[in-house]
Chains A and B, each alone.
Chain A
Amino acid sequence: MIAQVLAQAFESPTIDYHALAPEIVLVSFAALLILLDVVLLEKGRTFISALAGIGLLATMLPILTLAIDGTDRVMFGGAYVVDDFSLVMKAMFVLSGYVVVLLSTNYIAEGDYWENEYYGLLLASLTGMVMISSARDLISIFVALELLSIPVYMMATWRKRDIRSNEAGLKYYLMGVFASAVMLYGMSMLYGTAGSTLLVDIGEAVGGEETTSIVTLAVIFTIIGFAFKVSAVPFHYWAPDTYEGAPTPVTAYLSVASKAAGFVALLQLVMVGFYARDDVYEPVLWILAAASMTVGNLLALRQENVVRMMAYSGVAQAGFMLAPLAVAGKIGDDAVVATVTYLLIYAAMNLGAFAVIIALARKTGSATLDSFNGAFHYAPGLTVVMTMFLFSLAGIPPFGGWFAKFAVLAALIDANTAAGVVLAVVAAVNSVIALYYYGGLARRMWAEEAPDGDLTPVRVPVSLVAALGLAAGLTLLFGVFPNLVSEVSDVSLISTLGG
């Protein structure tokens, strides 16, 4: 055996450096940040966050040139694919990462935190996300998933003198490891069935005439592993505690980028790997979607803490994003388009909402719903943009959220099945429930009196203003010109099957 291996001539794989340029730039900047930290120690604090931002913007360049070039690039025998889908998601991850850097700049600098390491870890985690968008192979998916998760376990505990932050990180870590174990178990059965780790080969092996029990188990375990990642009910219970305890910029990162990464992997697995087995994955995704929307929204109604409310709202939004996948067997690539549309718009509006929460907490130092009372009297600008983000999350035109909800509902109706229509009704009812708590928070900000009549204005630092402007601009733009999103999100996974 060994002699046989040794006798083989080694052929170095052809590496398309243009296709890998985003990853290479990101890794170089992450390494550069650590190197600067090692050389300069505390002297680096003044510019390290700016450098992280520059690194992310530099990463956008190769993504743009690849998008302009437009050819699908397949590497390593189909394990790593750079196509429209992966480029859109890479751009989304890098831009969300940039907004998170903007959100973190003052928060991390003003606290008693290690600063240089924070940005190094953030870039490392983003590298994992950029990789997972291209990974079409079980091993690549798993390595990318761990690369994006492990730094975030540490970032969640960044307020290390706060017991809640410790709890947040530990819970997230334990749940993440548990989910990885469940997922790996499913993947091992997939490999056993297909004899290959490539999603394309798995698609062929899994999509036979009959459903074998091993395939059912494999598909369900793998999906459950990712259901933890995207915090779908009933695998959501880590989310509120982790979101509440983690530093708020990290919470924003978790709720947008980390969740989106779970969806990217899930989309690739379902659309490329399991696609023909819709009798297995559709029911389980249907239940996850319906339960996430309903339970997430109902629990959000009862929250007293705005971050916990956003956590449950995030659970409900994850339900909306899962919904098109529950009818994917009928509508094919339209499910990918609907979910990607939702992810893009959700990223803009959710990051914006967290930016306002961080800005207001600079004055109130608290995250209870009461602390938002009367914000209009001392921070009218923040109140206006927060109202916009909240209405967008609820799905009210002309803000972006309506188009996201529209895309999902249209996909569900297009499927033309009883299951699809029922899920569309569940989604519609849940949009109304969600309006109650989103609207309730907006009402507090406009109509209530400020606590203690304290009307000193909030000083919003430049980086937060930039983040708010970016998020608000995109939320409004996506709502008024939805064709901007639909143009970008018009991607497909199934057509790359042959790749």
Chain B
Amino acid sequence: MSSWPWLQSGRIGDPQTPSLGSLAVSDFLRSYLTVAIFGAVALLLAGGILSLGRLIRPSHGNAEKLLTYESGVDPTGDMWSQSNIRYYVFALLFVMFDVEAVFLFPWATRLEAYGVFGLVEMGIFILILLLGLVYAWRKGMLRWV
């Protein structure tokens, strides 16, 4: 580690370490070396773990084992299965109410402290979100036909 003092100190503009090993490196390059090392570590970490797993894991496949995993039951049907687009709309609506709740709870716990200011602000917030619900309702998104 002693030949990498700039890594140990966590500072790369350290004037006492003007060289990297035997190579003379300018301040400019050394500051960007951090980025290169960071990128290399990211790649090595992902690549290394994946290839390590491949190297050390046993591989004795049989028909049962190679079956696609589907929550413990035998998979049925094609891998290309379509789900109803309406689920997507309901998921979106759920997110809308979810976000509303996230902001409403902290406000509700301190309702009195926030006073009229908080009430008006929250009113505007809920009104705008409500507009989204009215929109979905009016466009027939809430009907399950």
Contacts and interface: CB of A to CB of B under 8 A. Distances in A.
B135 A217 contact: no
A293 interface: no
A291 to B, nearest CB: 16
Interface in A276-296: 279-280, 283
A174 interface: no
Interface in B87-139: 110, 113-115, 117-118, 128, 131, 134-135, 138
B113 A210 contact: no
Contacts of B31: 211, 213, 216, 279-280
Given A37-B135, A38-B134, A279-B27, A211 B13 contact: yes
A210 B32 CA distance: 14
B42 to A, nearest CB: 11
A276 to B, nearest CB: 13
B10 A6 contact: no
Chain A interface SS verdict (over half): helix
B32 A10 contact: no
A258 to B, nearest CB: 23
B35 interface: yes
Contacts of B34: 213, 216-217
A213 B10 contact: yes
Interface string B22-53: 00000110011011001000000000000000
Contact of B11 (A10, A31, A213): A213
A262 B118 CA distance: 32
Contacts of A210: 11, 13-14
Contacts of A6: 110
A217 B12 contact: no
Given A217-B38, A279-B27, A10 B110 contact: yes
A61 interface: no
A456 interface: no
B13 A38 contact: no
Interface residues of A, number: 22
A212 interface: yes
Contacts of A34: 131, 135
Contacts of A31: 128, 131
A80 to B, nearest CB: 15
B71 to A, nearest CB: 28
Nearest to A114: B139
Interface in B4-19: 10-14
B12 A211 contact: yes
B110 A212 contact: no
Nearest to B116: A12
Contacts of A67: none
B20 to A, nearest CB: 14
B131 A279 contact: no
A485 B34 CA distance: 41
User: Most B CB atoms within 10 A — which of A37, A38, A283?
Assistant: A38
A12 B121 CA distance: 11
Contact of A279 (B14, B28, B135): B28
Contacts of B110: 6, 10
A210 B10 CA distance: 11
B38 to A, nearest CB: 6
B32 A216 contact: yes
Given A10-B110, A210-B14, 9 more contacts: A12-B114, A37-B135, A38-B131, A211-B11, A213-B12, A216-B35, A220-B35, A279-B28, A280-B31
23 contacts: A10-B110, A12-B115, A12-B118, A27-B128, A31-B128, A31-B131, A34-B135, A35-B131, A37-B135, A210-B11, A210-B14, A211-B11, A211-B12, A211-B13, A212-B10, A212-B12, A213-B10, A214-B10, A216-B34, A217-B34, A217-B35, A280-B31, A283-B28
Interface of A: 6, 9-10, 12, 27, 31, 34-35, 37-38, 41, 210-214, 216-217, 220, 279-280, 283
